[in-house]
Amino acid sequence: MSTPTVNRRILLASRPHGEPAATDFQHDETTVPSPGPGQVLLRTLYLSLDPYVRGRMSAARSYAAPMEVGDVIVGGTVSEVVESATDDFSPGEVVLSYGGWQEYSLEPAEGLRRLDPEVAPVSTALGVLGMPGFTAYAGLLEIGRPQPGETVAVAAATGPVGSAVGQIAKAKGARTIGIAGGPRKVEHLRELGFDEAIDHREPALAERLEEAAPGGIDVYFENVGGPVWDAVLPQLNEFARVPVCGLAANYNATELPEGPDRTGQLMASVLAKSLTLRGFIQREFAQTHFEDFLADMSAWVRSGEVRYREDITEGLDRAPETFVGMLRGDNFGKTLIKVS
């Protein structure tokens, strides 16, 4: 491969107000840098698009520091080593990194994880065998703790986190309810083995959920918020657990919804039903559970107990529109950009 000279990147041009607009993204080109001691130059193969990045585009402090205007947009990547100034990596090796929305990135060797294409397609390190899969695993098993015979519900259930939640819950002997948007996704939930598949666009969502969970819901893995949460809350059983992993329905919100204020009502439900609501970020469990996850999840993928779907778009230039579409729910599986 010839030595690259131009690095195309996408920067945060302005903080979005509501749904990100094309003008919030700036496409630019710089010179590809050279690695200093201990560094490697990486060429991005796959870029992961994830809902949490919308949060980091805003100035408000969330669980991670916001990006600054002018920064390369952040994101996990699967990349190939192009040049190495360390003995730890050689050109041609494939690694998991956090290169962001650009064709080339310079990274310290430490913190990179080498991927073996013989074991699994390398793109899975951004999905079922990566952060989304681990988010599902840790949140469901450490916080949700489903018992055999209990009922587990999850929304955005064809997404990379939701689909893993449902299939892991099933592998652990739970009854599973998947919620997703539109007939194609609902059909896919059935293919994935969910016991019940519900379209959240149905007008009678609450009634449909009540039918699907005649014994109530013991674990609700929360990654959307909004009307789905409103419909789930009354169905939760005493001692139900709610791992709070994401609130995609709110990410583009620009103001609080109209009243009345139902905060007190939510707290009253927490009290009356001895509920557990527990927010979490997967990194909390990384040290203690990632190895177990890799072993378990690789086995489930091999056995077919956990299946995954990737939604791959070609070309870095299409990252902004694909990202916005994902926030709307247009994606169908793990959203990836094939960069080169």
Residues lying near a second copy in the complex (CB under 8 A):
61-63, 222, 225-226, 229, 238, 244-247, 249-250, 253, 255-281, 284
The number of beta carbons lying within 10 Å of the beta carbon of residue 21 is 13
Q: 157 and 194 in contact (C-beta within 8 Å)?
A: yes
The residues that bridge with 13 in the sheet, in sequence order, are none
Largest CA distance in the chain: 66
Give the β-pairing of 94-97 and 77-84: antiparallel
What CA–CA distance (Å, rounded) separates 115 from 123? 10
- What are 5's two structure tokens? 């000279």
Provide the 3-class DSSP secondary structure of residue 114.
Answer: strand
Q: How far is the CB of 191 from a second copy (least distance, A)?
A: 30
**Which of residues 59 and 256 has its CB atom nearest to a second copy in the complex?**
256
Q: How far is the CB of 17 from a second copy (least distance, A)?
A: 17
**Which of residues 172 and 278 has its CB atom nearest to a second copy in the complex?**
278
Nearest residue to 90 (alpha-carbon basis) of 99, 98, 80: 80
**Which of residues 267 and 312 has its CB atom nearest to a second copy in the complex?**
267
**Which of residues 31 and 274 has its CB atom nearest to a second copy in the complex?**
274
Q: From the CA atom positions of the chain, what is the Rg in Å? A: 21
Q: How far is the CB of 54 from a second copy (least distance, A)?
A: 12
- What are 280's two structure tokens? 């979490």
Q: How far is the CB of 238 from a second copy (least distance, A)?
A: 8
Q: How far is the CB of 69 from a second copy (least distance, A)?
A: 21
- The number of residues making up the chain comes to 340
Q: How far is the CB of 327 from a second copy (least distance, A)?
A: 16
Cα 87 from chain centroid (whole Å)? 33
Nearest residue to 106 (alpha-carbon basis) of 117, 114, 95: 95
**Which of residues 1 and 65 has its CB atom nearest to a second copy in the complex?**
65
Q: How far is the CB of 148 from a second copy (least distance, A)?
A: 22
**Which of residues 171 and 281 has its CB atom nearest to a second copy in the complex?**
281
Give the β-pairing of 217-221 and 151-154: parallel
**Which of residues 32 and 165 has its CB atom nearest to a second copy in the complex?**
165
